[in-house]
Amino acid sequence: MIEHLNRREFLRYAAIGATLRRLPLASAHGLAPEIAFTFDDPTTDGGANLTWQQVNERILDTLVSNKIKSILFVCGKRVDSNAGRQLVAAWDRADHLIGNHSYSHLFFNVSTDDDPAGSKKVTLAEFEADALKNEPLIQGHLHFNRLFRYPFFKEGDTAEKRDGMRAFLQAHGYRIGRATIDASDWAIDARLEKRTEAQPHADLTGYRNFFLQHIWERAQFYDSLSQRVLGRPLRHTLLLHHGGLNALFLGDLIAMFRRNGWRTVDAEYAYGDPVYDQQPKTLPAGESLVWALAKETGKFEKELRYPGEDDVYENPRMNALQL
């Protein structure tokens, strides 16, 4: 059974080029779907044998050469240093928005079996304070924008926490910087990082192919779902992370969307879509905005796994490909 699965997964991902060429255009509504690229969690760790400066420059250069303005959601603890301040300033100078991703990246939902941040007892008051604690690192920038992105896309596991934080953000002039297309580039990046540490000259084509296929699949899923939930096209936002994987392959990702008929747009334009002001009343709250809006209708139970995205879904596939 394992062998069968591995072979199936292998065939599925090995033929990436052919697969992408066969995929139909994503648009079912006759208009080109629109997508903005958003980046979370910049760090000065570097990645994929690149220094943080090289990672940063590569991502910024790719955005410039593709004429795309993005948004950097800054988590303070990762950039609370001179180098970190330089990193964020480079995004500001390049005219990308600077958003708030909290200082400590706390896990706002109490999770029964897993709790990535080990912070089971985060209260509303603590979570609020942590959002404000991040402001000194970001609010001086010209392109600071009051968009708040919840760590892990977890918006609270009780109505009190969910609605309390939403009221708090509104009182402080923030909108919620949700993404419509959630994905697990971070899990692929972690695998790539491990490989390049062990084998600095390893062939990374498999990571690239898996990354493109994974993001394409998730984009198809969330675009299809959004059309059925909203009955209109929306301006998509894709969750990506600042790191080695995107330093190497962001250009290929952008090219893939364009080749398949998607229109790449600026983050500020995307967040102009009023869909981002909707406040789904789901519990536990969070996940992709499209996921939450679909969940709220109660009509898509079979399609909505929980959590919406996680490395547990991608790890077996990457194992099968020996990534």
Tell me which residues touch Zn ion (CB under 5 A): 40-41
Number of continuous H segments (helices) and E segments (strands) in the chain: 13, 7
Distance in Å, CB of 27 to Zn ion, minimum: 30
Which residue pairs, CB below 8 angstroms and at least 24 apart, start in 193-200?
193/47, 193/48, 193/243, 193/244, 195/323, 196/47, 196/48, 196/49, 196/244, 200/49
Distance in Å, CB of 8 to Zn ion, minimum: 32
Q: Extract the tokens encoding 87.
A: 């990193």
Q: What is the DSSP letter of 113?
A: S
Distance in Å, CB of 39 to Zn ion, minimum: 10
Distance in Å, CB of 28 to Zn ion, minimum: 31
Distance in Å, CB of 52 to Zn ion, minimum: 17
Based on CB atoms, which residue is closest to Zn ion, 40 or 273? 40
Based on CB atoms, which residue is closest to Zn ion, 150 or 211? 150
Give the integer Cα–Cα distance in Å for 58 and 41: 16
Torsion of CA 161, 163, 165, 168, to 10 degrees: -140
Based on CB atoms, which residue is closest to Zn ion, 240 or 256? 240
Based on CB atoms, which residue is closest to Zn ion, 41 or 130? 41
Distance in Å, CB of 101 to Zn ion, minimum: 6
Based on CB atoms, which residue is closest to Zn ion, 75 or 204? 75
Helix runs in 15-146, H state only? 16-22, 52-65, 82-93, 124-133, 135-138
- Using DSSP, state whether 103 is helix, strand or coil: coil
Q: Within 10 A of 245 (CB to CB), how many other CB atoms are there?
A: 28
Q: What is the DSSP letter of 30?
A: S
Based on CB atoms, which residue is closest to Zn ion, 41 or 182? 41
**211: part of which helix (H) or strand (E)?**
helix 205-230
